Amino acid sequence: MKKTKGIILAGGFGSRLFPLTFGTSKQLLPVYDKPMIYYPLSTLLYAGVKDILIISTPKDLPRFRDLFDDGSHLGINISYKEQNNPNGIAEAFLIAENFIKNDNICLILGDNIFHGKNFEKLLYKATKNLEKNYCSIFGKNIDNPSDFGVVEFDDNNYPEKIVEKPKFTNSKTVVTGLYFYTNDAINEAKKLQPSKRGELEITDLNNVFIKKKHLELIELGSDFSWLDTGTYDSLIRASKYFQNLEYNTGKKYACIEEIVFDLGYISKFQLEKNIEMVSSSSYGDYLRTIVKI
């Protein structure tokens, strides 16, 4: 059985967040008390993915290496590849071909954050779809669909096509930045032609699988939060969202050390070593409550 490997696409220049991103990657900016990339990484962990590739710019990759190294202290494998220019999301499959090899793929954008009840069950569903040779994308109804890739449905409520940033649409369902693909996504990505803006569009790839009837849209309900942290306001909203959530529940979200410990990827001894690196922070204080140090 093929396993699923994960890709976090953390490239681009973060131009919508200038000047914040002049000196650092957008995905390293804080969302409350942790780097933004912790959130997509936690999604991959909840999906059972242990082999992960981070794709970013040549300038920013060393910063991600400083943060995660090879992932062994988390019981996972993290590797790195450069994307020299932002040539489209679908380019990730060409960059990652040697990493993916014959396995399936879960791709998540480094600025997309998901939180909601039963999220792990939805991730499990997408993983099981891969075993049936089906891809999965995650959709959400929003009030400003024209800013995203919009899903248009046929009479049977099956996705008919995805239209990128349409001026007019009757659909409010948009595609989020989380995708599960069978291995043939690599070959299909190779066939794509650059769009008018010179990019290999993930929308074009999704439409290929829609035409093949090999794609399921998993819809996120109204009580589910999808945060695209690409603007000043959305970055602040995301921080406040998790600040309030953690204050009200006493639990941390996207605390990757806790996640891998709960999954059995690391021992208590390794967790204690990890805590030493953040020992003087409230984040470290929280981790100490897990091991009762």
pTM of the model: 0.96
Tell me if 249 is assigned to some domain.
Answer: yes
Note whether residue 145 is domain-resident: no
Domain annotation covers residue 48: yes
pLDDT of residue 293: 55
Residue 62 is predicted with a pLDDT of: 96
Residue at 41 is within a domain: yes
The confidence score (pLDDT) of residue 292 equals: 77
**What pLDDT score was predicted for residue 230?**
80
Q: Which two tokens stand for residue 256?
A: 């990757």
Which residues lie across from 20 on neighbouring strands? Answer: none
Structure tokens, 245: 């959530």
Cα(264)–Cα(64) distance, integer angstroms: 24
Q: How many residues does the chain have?
A: 293
CA torsion 209-213-214-220 (nearest 10°) is 90
- Domain containing 94 equals 4-138+175-254
What's the CATH number where 86 sits? Answer: 3.90.550.10
**Separation between Cα atoms, residue 253 and residue 39, nearest integer Å:** 8
Q: How many domains does the chain have?
A: 1
What pLDDT was estimated at residue 79? 98
pLDDT of the residue at 22: 87
Q: Is residue 33 part of a domain?
A: yes
Closest CA to 23 of 60, 55, 48: 60
Residue 119's H or E segment, with its range, is: helix 119-131
> Mean pLDDT, 10 residues at a time, over the chain (293 residues)?
93 82 90 96 98 96 97 98 92 97 97 94 97 96 90 89 89 96 97 91 96 95 89 92 95 96 96 94 94 71
- Mapped onto helix, strand or coil, the DSSP state of residue 228 is strand
Chain centroid offset of residue 153 CA:
25
